[in-house]
Each structure stands twice: as structure tokens, then as C-alpha cells.
């Protein structure tokens, strides 16, 4: 049987490294000697764990909860890479998982059982064409970390140049394909009785997970991802991306420069080493928002094992490094702009426009009757927002949004699976370091600055929606709210507000700002007379907001306002 399984693995690995649900289901269905024992193993493990949690979960004794956490960790570890990935996602959610369970689940990030060192050396030699001692000046006898898909060695490439060498686990393609078929089958069978209303079937979400997982195990793709990601942050000194060493990298081996930092998983350890956790959070979350809303290309697995704190300037922004670029994804320009607008519409309580955003993003069909849905959106999300928008976080949005999905024709487009995972993981990491963290306190000031500088036509259109009502009148309260976001943001210092003020002025006086100027002019004309009350109110708000920035007159004179 062992020889038979080995031949099955070899034949399966020779197939294309792409996820194909129908092909893989047929492959496994024709091999019941593989399918049935594995199915029984998964169901048995899940039932045993569920029973244990059901019986002991309410017991508050620390020893019992620690035992349950270890049982969960061991079950996920024994079931393999697909289930470990699920546990990694849970390990970033302190608002969903007990703190004492989280301490165990963080071991899934880089503290998993290793595979034999001899196997790792054999894979490295097969992939790179030479043994480790010929390729590296120094190669250790054991890995420094072991994760779900591979294990990492700290090696010396030349001189004093240290690198991280990640070697993929043996037979990984075979294992993942087998388990994804079974997971999807169990998901489809159980979805009718689960308390879920995803719109798209659970199978579609699993397919998206499968596609991303197969991209993650292609290290040549990961190398390209790392180089692209690095180029996006090339001018940002607060973000470090390791350099890929292509001469000693392949499809199953990837070598990058070594990151000498502290992992973002233990707030006490970070504080002991003198790091400002709030500053690190701000850098991490801001970079995440920038990836999603500006670059349209994002790290979809920002768990604490993939992010490090690095030493930075004292009193400056937090300095972090990203590693592991296997799970990356893109968002279309249209979706990116619509998401940005939806944040503004949500916080401004423009529920009509928010409903249209949902349609554009695919959460509502184009044929949906918005006249019935808008009041429901307002009842659920509007009441939650209240007056304290800064207290609103992504978790509260998704909790409230789920209420709508049971009664109205909402659905979650499969393409948003990794986006949601990335945002949830980012927020979960921040909550781990600072339980009082609210993502909207970082997201909205970022969006506000982008709106006021109108860097694209789409951003300018969103700004016009904020400033002017349907009748062309100026929404003074909205402008005031936008400015308050900037002045209340603890990091919007003179240094930050000055470039915002200059770019805003350039926008207003540039050719791109012609529509904005025209709308302001029309807003001042009431009937047959000119009413400058609203314009004066806007000028007063501008003076009040940007005076602290100390904009020097000579600097304003150097601006070329007519530059396109």
C-alpha cells in the first residue's frame, strides 16, 4: 500500500500546479482507497474535538481551557496544511477566540512540527541542481522555523550576508488537492444546516481558498510577488521587504535576505524591547489600507508570523517588515474606487449611495429593489454608527451586515474572500497588540486626505458627492466632519497637514478642479441673486482647520496653481 501511495503522489505532482476542483474530485473519486480513509480521519477528528468543546467549553478552569486549546492546536496540526491555514486565520482574532486559546494557536504561524532535514536537503539539491554546502557558505543542520507549507533555514550566502531559505514540504501538492476535495464536499453537504447565508455557496468560497493556496505553494510566483510588493513601497522608509535571491530560488525553494526583527505577536515582548506598539499598529494598518485602496495589490495573509517590528527613528513612525508573499491578491480599479467611496458613504450615512456601492461590488444584484433595501441598511448600520463613528470597526460592520443577509438578497462575491481575510487579519493583529484599537480611526483620516487632494478623477467624483447635495447645495456639515477627522487624528501634525493643504489648493486651482470650482460658483447663486453665506462658511472652516499648520505665505506663492 505504501508503494502504491508513493506512485499516486508522484503521478499527481506531475500535473499542473493549478487548482481544478472538477479534475481533482474525479481523481479522488476514482481512488477510494485514498478518499475513504482520509474522509473518515477528518470527520472523526472534527467530531471528537467538537464533542470535547461542547462538554467542557463553558468550564472556566484555566487548566481545562488550556487542555482544550492544545486539543484544537493538535487536531489542526495533525489534519495538515489546509486545516492549519484555518487555524492561522483564527489566531489573529482575539475578538472571536479566547485569549488563552490564542496563545496556543499562534504556534500555527511558525512553530509547527518539522519534516526530516535529509528530505529538505534532497528537495533543495533537486530544485537548485547542487547540494547546500556548494551553494551556501554556511547551511545549518536544522530549521529555525517551520510553517504550514514549508520550513525556514537561516543560512549564510556569502561574507556576512545571511538569508532565509524556505523549502517546501514534501508531497504538498498531493496533500492539498486531496484535502481540498474533501473539505469542499463536506462544506457543500453541511452548508444547508450551518448558520450561514453567504449568497454565493460555501463551495465557491472554498474554491477561492483553493486557488489562493495553490498560488501560495508556487515559490516562483512568490518571488515575483515579493519584487512587485517591494517596488510599491520603495519610497516608504517605514516598510521593509526582503530581497529575493533568484540564483538560489526555484518553484519549491525561495531564498530572501534575512529580516532581523521582532514578530508582531507579543505586546509585552515588543514593549520590553522599546517598541511603540501603537505606532507599529498605525504603520501596519495604514500600509494595509494603502495596499487595498491605492495600490490595488495586497498581502492577503498579514498574520503576526509574517510581520516584524524593526528599529526605527525615535519618535518617528513604526517600522515594520513583511515576509511570505505566497498569498497575494489584486483588486480591480473599479472595485478599489467603489470601496473607497463606500467608506465615505457609510460614515456620512448616505445609505442610498451605499446601496448602489453594494450593487457595483456585487453584494447586491443590479435588479435588486433598493427602495426596500435602503431602509433596512439604514436601520441596521445607521443605528450602530450613532454619533461615535470612531468606535466603529470592521468586526462590528460584518456582524451587523450579517443580519441583513438572512432577510435580503445580499451575497458575498467569491473574489472578496481574500480581501475580507486580509482586513480581518489586519484588524485582528492590531487588536492583539492593542485591545482598544479601532480601524476606522486610521482608515477614515487616510481616505479624507486622499479625497481632499483629489489625486484621481474618481477621488474627485467622491469628493463632489461629499461636498454637494443632489440640488447642488454645499453640505457644510459634511465638510466640517471631513476637516474634523484631520484635526482630531493624533498624527495629523503640522508636518502632515501642510502638504494636504497645498495639494488641496493646487487641486482647486488646477484644470482638474474645474468642476469643483464650477459647482462652488453655482452653489453661491440662489435664484437671481448671489448668496455667499455657504462660501464664507467654507473659508472659515478652511482657516480654522489649516491655520495650525502654519502655511507660510512664501510657500503658497511658490505653488504653480495652473499646473495640470
Distance CA 174, CA 190 (A): 25
Name the DSSP letter for residue 139: -
- Strands 262-263, 307-310: pairing kind: antiparallel
Of 301, 329, 335, 357, the active-site residue reads 301
DSSP class of 507: H
d(C-alpha 321, C-alpha 264), whole Å: 10
| Among 186, 173, 172, CA closest to 42 | 186
Q: Output 306-312 pairs: Cβ under 8 A, ≥24 positions apart.
A: 306/109, 307/263, 307/264, 307/429, 308/259, 308/261, 308/262, 308/263, 308/264, 309/261, 309/262, 309/263, 309/264, 309/270, 309/273, 309/275, 309/280, 310/240, 310/259, 310/260, 310/261, 312/238
Q: Residue 495 half-sphere exposure, CB side, CA atoms within 13 Å? A: 4
Element (H, E) at 187: helix 172-190
Alpha carbons 150 and 153: distance in angstroms, whole number: 10
Q: Give the whole-angstrom CA distance, residue 167 versus residue 121.
A: 9
Helices 172-190 and 32-56: angle between axes, nearest 10 degrees: 60
Instruction: At 15, give phi and psi (nearest 5°).
Output: -70, 175
CA distance 288 to 90: 19
- Dump the DSSP string for 525-554: EETTEE--HHHHHHHHHHHHHHGGG---HH
Q: 82 — phi, psi (to 5°)?
A: -60, -40
| 1 burial via Cβ count (<10 Å: 0-12, 13-18, 19+) | exposed
Cα–Cα separations (whole angstroms), residue 210 to 30, 161, 279, 491: 21, 36, 35, 40
Burial class (CB in 10 A: 0-12, 13-18, 19+), 542: middle
Alpha-carbon distance of 406 to 391, in angstroms, equals 25
Known active-site residue 301: yes
Q: Which of the 8 DSSP states describes residue 390?
A: G
> In DSSP terms, which residues pair with 527 in a beta bridge?
none
Q: How far apart are CA 281 and CA 264, in angstroms?
A: 9
Which whole-number Å values give the CA distances from 160 to 136, 254, 295, in the listed order?
12, 19, 35
Residues in contact with 134: Cβ distance below 8 Å, sequence separation at least 6, in sequence order: none
- Burial code (b: 16+ CB inside 10 Å, e: under 16) for 434-473 equals eeebbbbbbbbbbbbbbbbbbeeebbbebbebbbbeeeee
The secondary structure of residue 58, as a DSSP letter, is T
Positions marked active-site: 301
Amino acid at each position: 500500500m505504501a508503494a502504491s501511495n508513493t506512485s499516486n503522489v508522484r503521478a499527481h505532482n506531475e500535473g499542473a500546479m493549478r487548482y481544478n476542483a472538477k479534475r481533482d474530485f474525479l481523481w479522488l473519486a476514482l481512488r477510494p482507497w485514498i478518499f475513504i480513509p482520509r474522509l473518515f480521519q477528518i470527520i472523526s477528528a472534527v467530531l471528537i474535538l467538537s464533542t470535547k468543546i461542547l462538554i467542557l467549553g463553558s468550564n472556566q478552569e484555566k487548566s481545562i481551557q488550556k487542555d482544550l486549546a492544545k486539543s484544537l492546536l493538535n487536531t489542526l496540526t495533525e489534519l495538515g496544511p489546509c486545516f492549519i491555514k484555518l487555524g492561522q486565520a483564527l489566531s489573529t482574532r482575539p475578538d472571536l477566540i479566547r485569549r488563552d486559546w490564542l496563545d496556543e494557536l499562534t504556534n500555527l504561524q511558525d512553530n509547527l512540527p518539522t519534516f526530516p532535514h535529509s528530505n529538505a536537503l534532497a528537495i533543495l539539491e533537486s530544485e537548485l541542481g547542487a547540494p547546500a554546502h556548494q551553494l551556501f557558505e554556511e547551511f545549518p543542520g536544522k530549521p529555525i522555523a517551520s510553517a504550514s507549507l514549508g520550513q525556514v533555514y537561516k543560512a549564510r550566502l556569502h561574507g556576512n550576508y545571511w538569508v532565509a531559505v524556505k523549502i517546501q514540504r514534501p508531497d504538498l501538492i498531493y496533500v492539498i488537492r486531496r484535502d481540498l476535495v474533501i473539505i469542499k464536499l463536506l462544506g457543500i453537504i453541511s452548508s444547508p444546516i450551518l448558520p450561514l447565508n453567504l449568497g454565493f455557496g460555501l463551495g465557491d468560497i472554498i474554491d477561492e481558498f483553493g486557488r489562493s493556496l495553490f498560488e501560495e505553494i508556487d515559490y516562483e510566483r512568490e518571488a515575483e510577488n515579493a519584487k512587485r510588493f517591494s517596488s510599491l513601497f520603495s519610497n516608504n522608509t517605514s516598510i521593509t521587504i526582503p530581497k529575493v535571491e533568484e540564483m538560489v530560488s526555484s518553484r519549491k525553494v525561495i531564498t530572501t535576505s534575512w529580516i532581523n526583527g521582532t514578530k508582531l505577536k507579543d505586546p509585552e515582548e515588543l514593549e520590553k524591547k522599546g517598541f511603540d506598539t501603537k505606532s507599529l499598529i498605525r504603520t501596519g494598518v495604514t500600509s494595509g489600507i494603502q495596499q487595498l485602496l491605492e495600490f490595488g495589490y495586497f498581502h492577503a495573509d498579514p498574520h503576526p508570523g509574517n510581520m516584524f517590528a524593526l528599529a526605527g527613528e525615535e519618535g518617528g513612525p513604526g517600522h515594520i517588515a513583511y515576509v511570505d508573499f505566497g498569498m497575494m491578491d489584486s483588486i480591480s480599479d473599479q472595485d478599489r474606487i467603489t470601496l473607497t467611496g463606500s467608506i465615505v458613504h457609510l460614515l456620512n450615512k448616505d445609505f442610498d449611495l451605499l446601496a448602489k456601492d453594494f450593487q457595483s461590488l456585487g453584494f447586491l444584484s443590479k435588479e435588486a429593489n433598493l427602495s426596500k433595501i435602503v431602509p433596512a441598511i439604514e436601520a441596521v448600520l445607521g443605528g450602530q454608527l450613532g454619533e461615535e463613528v470612531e468606535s466603529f470597526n470592521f468586526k462590528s460592520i460584518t456582524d451587523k451586515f450579517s443580519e441583513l443577509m438572512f432577510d435580503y438578497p445580499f451575497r458575498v462575491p467569491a473574489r472578496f474572500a481574500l480581501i475580507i481575510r486580509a482586513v480581518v487579519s489586519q484588524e485582528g493583529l492590531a487588536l492583539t497588540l492593542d485591545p482598544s484599537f479601532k480601524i476606522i480611526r486610521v482608515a477614515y483620516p487616510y481616505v479624507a486626505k486622499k479625497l481632499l487632494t483629489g489625486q484621481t478623477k474618481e477621488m474627485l467624483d467622491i469628493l463632489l458627492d461629499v461636498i454637494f447635495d443632489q440640488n447642488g447645495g454645499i453640505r457644510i456639515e459634511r465638510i466640517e466632519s471631513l476637516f474634523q477627522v484631520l484635526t482630531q487624528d493624533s498624527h495629523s501634525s503640522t508636518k502632515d497637514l501642510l502638504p494636504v493643504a497645498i495639494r488641496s489648493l493646487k487641486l482647486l486651482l488646477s484644470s482638474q478642479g474645474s468642476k469643483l470650482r464650477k459647482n462652488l460658483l453655482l452653489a453661491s447663486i440662489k435664484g437671481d441673486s448671489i448668496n455667499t453665506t455657504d462660501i464664507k462658511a467654507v473659508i472659515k472652516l478652511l482657516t480654522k482647520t489649516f491655520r495650525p499648520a502654519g502655511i507660510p505665505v512664501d510657500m503658497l506663492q511658490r505653488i504653480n496653481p495652473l499646473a495640470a
